Chain A
Amino acid sequence: MKSYQVGRPSERPWAGVKKTFFTIAAMLLTSLTFTVMAQDVTVSGTVKGADGSGLPGVTVQAKGTTKGTQTGLDGTYKLAGVAKNGTLVFSFVGMETKEVAIGNKSVVDVTLVDDTKALEEVVVVGYGTVKKKDATGAVNAIGAKDFQKGIVTSPEQLMQGRVAGVQITQSSGEPGGGINVRIRGTSSVFGGNNPLFVIDGVPLSGDNISGGGDASGVGRQPAKNPLNFMNPDDIASIDILKDASATAIYGSRGANGVVLITTKKGKGKGSLEYGYSHGFSSITKKYDLLSAAEYIAAGGQNKGGSTDWQDELFRTGQTSQHNLAFGGGDASGSYRFSLGYLNQDGIILKSGIKRYSVGFSGTKKFINDKLTLGSNLNFANTQDTGVPISENSGFEGDLLGGILKSNPTQPIYTTDAKGNQIYNQPGNTEPNPLAFANLSRDNTNTLRALGNINAELQIIEGLKFKTVLGFDKSLSSRKSAYSSDLVVTGIGGIGRAYVNDIEVDNQLWENYFTYDKEIGKTSLNALLGYSYQSFDRYSKSIAAANFRTNDLDLMINNIAAANAGKFGSNVINNSSSEKDELQSYFGRVNLNLSSKYLVTGTLRIDGSSKFGGNNKYGVFPSGAFKWKLMEESFIPKNVFSDLALRLGYGVTGNQSIPHNLYDRRDRYSGWGINQGADNIEGGGLNAVAFNNPNLKWETTAALNVGLDFAILNNRLSGNIEFYQKNTKDLLFLVVSAQPAPTPFSWKNLDTDIQNRGVEVGLNFSAIDGKDFGWEVLANTAFNKNIVKNLSGVYDTGEINGQGLTGAFAQRIAQGQPLFAYFLREFGGYDEAGNSIYPAGDFQQFLNGKSPLPTVTAGLTNNLRYKNFDLSLFFNGVFGNYIYSNTANAFFTKGSFANGRNVTKDVVGSKEGPLNAPDVSTRFLQKGDFVRLQNLNLGYRVPVKSKVFSNLKLYVTGQNLLTFTKYTGQDPEVSTNKSINGIPSFGIDYTAYPRAKTWTIGANISF
């Protein structure tokens, strides 16, 4: 299919270009000569925009020739030597191309209108674009108008709920925290389930780029979302490739879907845009804990104070955003610069994220538009301030655990022997949450730059060659310190600091040919290319203990404050350097027969250094067929405005596993300081991996059947998709057959993970009047997941808390969905208040109850009235279950009996104080929810100013209402509770609480 292309060749001197990136190519090209045909008339005129002002930079070309020019600043042009009987073509980026026959006229004035329709209808498919109506695969495109509004820290959030079959779960409410994206269910266990992200043609590695944490007394903390570097304001569109026929062009990385992000390009005569917003976030729902009075009334120990720990630690977080962009463009090139600033305070004291971002994109055409040079660059500095909330804190609890369980009668402060006010910290087992927050510091500073420079050359008519050099570099340092004044296991009286640095250096070089040809009613579009991508990664981590100061800044920035003279005080944990490579050959052919039958065939051969000598290369084919029923005479045109049937099948892969797991390698293990900071342990030479030359790709074969339709004169349009995905050769970390060098080894498991589903997307233009409009967008998806033919069972979903060491809640086994819950069936309490389990005091599957939703849905209502517009967006998730590790660990009679606060429902329950709260369905709840995710009210101020061309004011509310039966803080949650690297899903453990946010803002164009 032809890509959306407005610019046509025009004569353009290539002088005036400052510097080019591909000098050699350019030099070759300058020697090319081109035909100039003799002509006879001169035509002039003015090109205007819809507002009546002159449009500069419009390409004016005599059709079928290379003769052309561009309009000047006032929109006028003059073109000499064109044929009398010729036709002029006026084209401009973002506007509808217009053709006007010259006839006998010597003055041709035209008015160009915005070509929004054409923009909407194009989808990016990887190494090119296609018109949406010609797309053969399951592809969704969303543009700026569909994006989530308000405070959006990373690109995934823009598309939450907007696309059928794409489920986006923020693992918690933490600013900048991790996000799970699942396209068409969950098909892998170890191979990662996030889709491949491609930004302006550069595929990202998907690895974390900042360090996690694992401080003594705190627990394991996840890395921040690696996509935080991307300012959502710089994004023009997101295209989601869902089925294998579309993703196969990304071969070994396509199994989980592909998300293609295209950044904004400059257009028009040059404009300056500024956007500002200010948001206020507060917790949506506090935990229903006992107040001091209620705690005493329930028989709790009175320590004399009255503290609402939630009030002490939660706050209204303010967020301000500034975005400044300027750019312009015409048919011969474009440029855009942007600056972004985000300062978001979390709703927990001290937490937050700051981002400074810079974006640039530019293109320029040379040599009669035969050579196009382009570059995109996104650069950001992200500064995260974390708080000690972890994924696996023990019974002592992390910061959030402390907020939930601290005795409400415990005063925050006490006085020391000298009469100074100090934090009241009763002991290691009951950390004072305010002290935890204020006597610790956790800063992550990340610089990431992603960009590419590319050159496209038209060799002959229809044949183009494009080369792309891409890079993705990041430097990240996470530094944390815990004061010796903080009474927490392993910290009190010791003081600890950690430094964790990660450096990533990924490079891309791609070269490909595209060929477009039309022969009669048949058109052909072919792609053939080669790609090389390398992924270098370095890390270094340091730990120190026994600090001689309690000044957190000094601890981080003058780490020698750790008393290195005392054994066990400091250690370089370890460093690492890894490089992976991916070398690929790919091709695609699109055939359009009579505009009625469209056929796509794709093949990618990927070679990856992640796999063993016997299986370095994998072959990933796909094919798709589209029958445009609308073109058939038997389809009643009075009923349908569009009707097409699609069929696609393809094989894609997954290679998201750690570096080199097939060579028998030894590495000195990391050193660590023990709990008492009086010994250093570790450092032995140990095997990293077992020799396994047969290790290979995980492959997913997927079938897709889709129907696109439009009725009621295009007012109602939509699509229905049916799919089935089968994943085999599952990459799995299995228990080694001992004796063995490593406890686990990587193998391809002979199993079959199946996802089957239906997706429906509907767009309905209910009213489309001049002053009033109402548009409804709805999508829903059903997915069923099941594991087949798996030998052995694999436990995951670690449950933490007092008396829960070794407990788990999920098991992967055949006949069950992935991550199926495996629990005791709770049946209430006996007379002594101990749990009874009518089905037996052992864990079992629960009829396929799992954390994976079976239905996801989104509903958007867009209303406009004159200069006002209102958008309401709801999303919903159904059929999933959430296990509350938080309740399991903290909201029990036993916990209350041990002097801790609990939720109000615990007091009235029949549970006895000595009951052991074993893992059971007592803590399992339905995770269904419907949420008013986004409400946006905008007003376009009618300006007649010469300074402003556009002024828009808006108010946005995010996460305003949630309808759910889940009693935890929020049903959109997934704390990483992996066991032996097997990930979990849908478990809630002291997750950073979620906020609702109101934002007011203004966008101004100059």
Chain B
Amino acid sequence: MKKNNIYKILLASTGLAFMSACTDLVNDEKDSIVRTSAGGTFTPGDPVALLESAYKDLGAYTDQANIYALGVHTTAEMIPPTRGVDWGDNGVWRTLDAHTWDATHSGITNAWNQLNQRVFKATEIIASNPSASQKAQAQFLRAFNMFHVMDFWGQVPFREVTQGVDELPKTLSRSEAFDFIVKDLEEALPNLGKVAPSATNGVANKAAANFLLAKLYLNKGVYKAAAAEGPYTFDKADMDKVIAYVDAITADGYSLDKSYFNAFTTASKNETILVSLEGSAQNRWFMTLHYNQNPSGWNGFTTLADFYDKFEKDDPRIGVPAKGDGKEFSGIGRGFLIGKQIMDNGKDLIDTRTQKVLSFTRDVPLAGAATDKGIRVIKYHPSDASKYILMRYAEAALMKAEAQFRGGNTAGALTTVNSLRTTRGAKALASLTADTMFDEIGRELYWEGGKRTVEVRYGKFTTGTGVEIKDAYTVLYPIPSSAIVSNPNLKQNKGY
């Protein structure tokens, strides 16, 4: 009996022993790199891997939606027609064209999240004990992304790496953000590599930093204006800086390509300052080409006849007709696609829906457009497209011309503009006004993504074709409503 009891006690205690804790519930992560930052301290990451990833994030600029859409759809260069049921997309495109967007617009929300997230990754790299070169590249990438935030919304949230999930980022005013970005670029410049023009320039370099600095100073009158909608004044000192930055790019060996469309191919040798190595330029043709073309597109965006008419007929930048010589994609021309379209074999292209020869029209309504409405635009050709270009020397040259013009040196500006025009094969201009300068920027840089900034600078953004809400407040986009919920420190922009 005694023995029995002992066993019973033994058993009961064995049972209790089973019940003691056997895990501390701490994860042993095998498929990810843990960077726990307890108590506000920041655990540095691997700057090499993070930087590589930050470059990959540039792929977001190749999309036809979000960042690109905010930069171009809202201007007089592009229209996103709703074609029957197609491209209605709950009105996201039409509202961009008509300037009737609100704070819940998906494109505005997505661009805000994408850009700010990219800023944070760069901030993390800077805090992850990078080499001087890595730090400079991260600062450049931060500046590039933050520039868009400042440009689109006029205020910039900023999160320190030590801030946890519940801590709210502070907000920089447009002017503070301008200074912040300039400082990043100035600090980065000495440690960035000097590289020659190449179609595969995917790494931050001196020319790219100079390019962005030139753009910042060219627009400084806008960014430092007391009110976002202006008036804007452009100081000569700032314009001189623009010229100096562009001259620095020229000094690095950059020049204009004699063949305009060659600049968008893998054979580009003179102009390309920075591309996104991630992604490709394919969305630029998918978004505009018709379903029945090869490659089959999404039959979306077109340009407007008014804009097309800004070109002289003999300006080579207006386009190159399709060859239709039987090679793949030879049914697609370059530049503006207008009128009858052909197949790769040169025969007329039949629209399978209408059973008629496909012929793109000059006219295009915003809603209720038939499948053939609107002039299409091809700068990257599917047969030889380069990587997607973020910075190109021609834009720098035009920035210099505009700086000369705004700085009072109209003759110098005309020379710079005509140098570009003649290189391209267009006739030289006899004189230069603000309007002809503006038009020239359009003729050179159409559909490249930055037109909104140019229109704002020239005071033309709120008055373009198709704009319904012509109020001045639309020069800034609304802070997305989801962002204001997430961070009450953000104040909604005036007018929204």
Q: Which of A632-669 contact B (CB under 8 A)?
A: 659-660, 663-668
Q: Cβ of B32 and Cβ of A739 under 8 Å apart?
A: no
Least Cβ–Cβ distance between B115 and chain A, in angstroms: 8
In contact, A457 and B11 (Cβ under 8 angstroms): yes
In contact, A745 and B12 (Cβ under 8 angstroms): no
A897 at the interface (CB under 8 A from B): yes
Q: From the candidates A457, A735, A739, A806, name the one contacting B482 in the complex (CB within 8 A).
A: A735
A532 within 8 A of B: yes
Contact A918 B88 (CB under 8 A): yes
Answer yes or no: A676 CB below 8 A from chain B CBs: yes
Question: Which segment, of A313-321, A440-448, A579-587, A775-783, faces chain B?
Answer: A579-587
Please determine whether A739 and B158 come into contact, CB atoms closer than 8 angstroms.
yes
Beta-carbon contact of A666 and B45 below 8 Å: yes
Within 8 A of A (CB), among B69-107: 82-92, 106
Nearest CB of A to B86, in Å: 5
Q: In the complex, what residues of B have CB within 8 A of residue A804's CB?
A: 88-90
Q: Is A271 an interface residue (CB 8 A)?
A: no
The residue from B43, B45, B56, B86 contacting A395, defined by CB atoms under 8 A apart? B86
Q: Complex Cα distance A615/B1, Å?
A: 48
With contact pairs A738-B486, A805-B89, A806-B90 given, residues A667 and B157 touching in the complex (Cβ less than 8 Å): no
- B15 near A511 (CB under 8 angstroms)? yes
| B23 and A583 contact, CB distance less than 8 A | yes
**B window 4-55: CB within 8 A of A:** 4, 7-8, 10-12, 15, 18-23, 25-38, 43, 45-46, 49-50, 52-54
Query: How far, in Å, is A469 (CB) from chain B's closest CB?
Result: 11
Contact partner of A741 (CB less than 8 A), chosen from B117, B158, B279, is B117
Shortest CB distance A474–B (Å): 19
> Which of B19, B59, B82, B485 is the most central at the interface, judged by chain A CB atoms within 10 Å of its CB?
B19
Contact flags (1/0) for A563-580 with B, using CB distance below 8 Å?
000000000000111110
Interface segment among A26-34, A58-66, A197-205, A856-864: the answer is A26-34
0/1 interface trace, chain A 388-402, chain B, CB 8 Å (1 if under): 000000010000000
> Which of A460, A575, A659 lies in contact with B8, CB distance below 8 A?
A460
CB proximity of A684 to chain B, nearest CB, Å: 3
Residues of B within 8 A of A913 (CB): 84
Complex Cα distance, B123 from A457, in Å, reads 61
A804 to B84, CA, bound (A): 12
Contact of B116 among A467, A585, A682, A739 (CB under 8 A): A739
Q: Which residues of A contact B482 (CB under 8 A)?
A: 735, 792
- Chain B residues in 8 Å Cβ range of A807: 89-90
Which residues of the other chain, B, contact A803 by a CB distance below 8 angstroms? Answer: 82-89
Q: Tell me which of B210-218, B291-299, B414-422, B457-465 binds A.
A: B291-299
Cβ-neighbour of A737 out of B85, B87, B92, B169 (below 8 A): B169
Cβ-based interface call for B112 (8 A): yes
Confirm or deny: A513 has a beta carbon within 8 angstroms of a beta carbon on chain B.
Answer: yes
Q: Give the dominant DSSP class at A's interface.
A: loop
Q: Are B166 and A427 in contact (CB under 8 A)?
A: no
Residues 892-919 of chain A, each 1 if its beta carbon lies under 8 Å from chain B, else 0? 1011011100000000000001111111
Contact B11 A579 (CB under 8 A): no
- Beta-carbon contact of B113 and A743 below 8 Å: yes
A534–B124 alpha-carbon span in the complex (Å): 34
Residues B113 and A917 in contact, CB atoms below 8 Å apart: no
CB distance from B122 to the nearest CB of A (A): 9
A838 at the interface (CB under 8 A from B): no
Contact of A467 among B18, B38, B168 (CB under 8 A): B18
Q: Which residues of B contact A553 (CB under 8 A)?
A: none
- Is the CB–CB distance between B18 and A530 below 8 Å? yes
A427-B352, A693-B38, A805-B92 in contact; A894/B85 too (CB < 8 A)?
Answer: yes
Q: Which of A467, A666, A679 has the most CB of B within 10 A?
A: A666
Q: Which residues of A contact B27 (CB under 8 A)?
A: 579, 609, 659-660, 663
| Complex contacts, B82 vs chain A, CB 8 Å | 803, 916
Q: Which residues of A contact B83 (CB under 8 A)?
A: 803
> Nearest B residue to A686 by beta-carbon distance?
B53
- Interface residues in A574-619 by Cβ distance below 8 A to B read 575-579, 581, 583, 585, 607-609, 613, 616
B159 at the interface (CB under 8 A from A): yes
Q: Which of B46, B50, B485 contacts A792 (CB 8 A)?
A: B485
| Contacting residues, chain B, for A528 (C-beta < 8 A) | 19
B21 CB contacts on chain A under 8 angstroms: 583
Cross-chain contact of A581 among B23, B169, B352 (Cβ < 8 A): B23
A577 to B117, CA, bound (A): 26
Docked pose: A876 CA to B193 CA in angstroms: 71
Which single member of A465, A741, A916 contacts B85 (CB below 8 Å)?
Answer: A916
A754 to B466, CA, bound (A): 47
Let me know if B279 and A806 touch, CB within 8 A.
no
Give the residue name and chain of the A residue nearest to B102 (CB). A842
The one of A428, A465, A734, A916 that contacts B486, using a Cβ cutoff of 8 Å: A734
Task: Tell which of B11, B123, B483 has the most Cβ of chain A within 10 Å.
Answer: B11
B contact residues around A681 at 8 Å (CB)? 56, 59, 278-279
A666 to B121, CA, bound (A): 11
The verdict on A916 contacting B25 (CB below 8 Å), with A459-B11, A679-B280, A806-B106 known, is: no
- Given A583-B23, A693-B38, the answer on whether A667 and B57 have CB atoms closer than 8 Å is no
Nearest B residue (CB) for A460: B8
A426 adjacent to chain B (CB < 8 Å)? yes
Is the CB of B487 closer than 8 A to any CB of chain A? yes
Residues of B contacting A560 in the complex (Cβ-Cβ under 8 angstroms): none
Quote the shortest CB–CB distance from B369 to chain A (angstroms).
Answer: 8
Task: Report if B164 contacts A (CB, 8 A).
Answer: yes
**Is A747's beta carbon under 8 Å from chain B?**
yes
Q: Is B190 an interface residue (CB 8 A)?
A: no
Task: Say if the beta carbon of A736 comes within 8 Å of chain B.
Answer: yes
CB nearest to A467 among chain B residues:
B18
Query: Shortest Cβ distance from B152 into chain A, in angstroms?
Result: 13
Question: Is A208 among interface residues, defined by CB-CB distance under 8 A?
Answer: no
Q: What's the minimum C-beta distance from A650 to chain B, rounded to whole angstroms?
A: 23
Partner among A684, A741, A792, A915 whose Cβ is within 8 Å of the Cβ of B124: A741
Chain B residue contacts of A667, Cβ below 8 A: 31-33
CA distance A681 to B277 in the complex (A): 10
Are the CB atoms of A663 and B36 closer together than 8 Å?
yes
Residues of A within 8 A of B487 (CB): 737-738
Q: Could you say which residues of chain A place their CB within 8 Å of the CB of B368?
A: 914
Nearest-CB distance from B32 to chain A (Å)?
4
Flag whether A301 is at the interface (Cβ < 8 A): yes
B19 x A529 contact (CB < 8 A): yes
Q: Does chain A have a CB within 8 A of B189?
A: no
Q: Among A457, A616, A686, A899, which residue has the most Cβ atoms of chain B within 10 A? A: A686
Q: How far apart are B494's CB and chain A's nearest CB, in angstroms?
A: 21
**Chain B residues whose C-beta falls within 8 Å of the C-beta of A949 in the assembled complex:** none
Q: How far is the CA of A688 from the CA of B169 in the complex (A)?
A: 20
Contacts of A808 in B (CB 8 A): 90
Q: Once bound together, how far apart are the Cα atoms of A532 and B23, in whole Å?
A: 8
Say yes or no for A522: interface residue by CB 8 A criterion.
no
Using known A-B contacts A428-B291, A679-B280, A681-B278, determine if residue A660 contacts B29 with beta carbons closer than 8 Å: yes
Q: Does B120 have its Cβ within 8 Å of any Cβ on chain A?
A: yes
A33-B4, A609-B26, A667-B33 given; 15 more Cβ-contact pairs under 8 Å = A395-B86, A511-B15, A581-B25, A583-B22, A676-B295, A679-B279, A681-B56, A736-B165, A739-B116, A739-B120, A739-B159, A740-B117, A741-B117, A915-B85, A918-B88
Q: List 20 A-B contacts (CB under 8 A).
A: A429-B291, A459-B11, A489-B296, A511-B19, A534-B23, A583-B22, A583-B23, A660-B27, A667-B32, A682-B56, A684-B56, A684-B57, A735-B482, A737-B168, A745-B165, A803-B83, A806-B90, A915-B85, A916-B85, A918-B88
Smallest CB-CB A-B distances: 6 pairs: A803-B88, A684-B53, A738-B116, A894-B85, A530-B19, A739-B120
Measured CB to CB, the residues of B under 8 A from A are: 1, 3-4, 7-8, 10-12, 15, 18-23, 25-38, 43, 45-46, 49-50, 52-54, 56-57, 59, 82-92, 106, 112-113, 116-117, 119-121, 123-124, 157-159, 164-166, 168-169, 278-280, 282, 286, 291-292, 295-296, 352-353, 355, 367-368, 482-483, 485-487
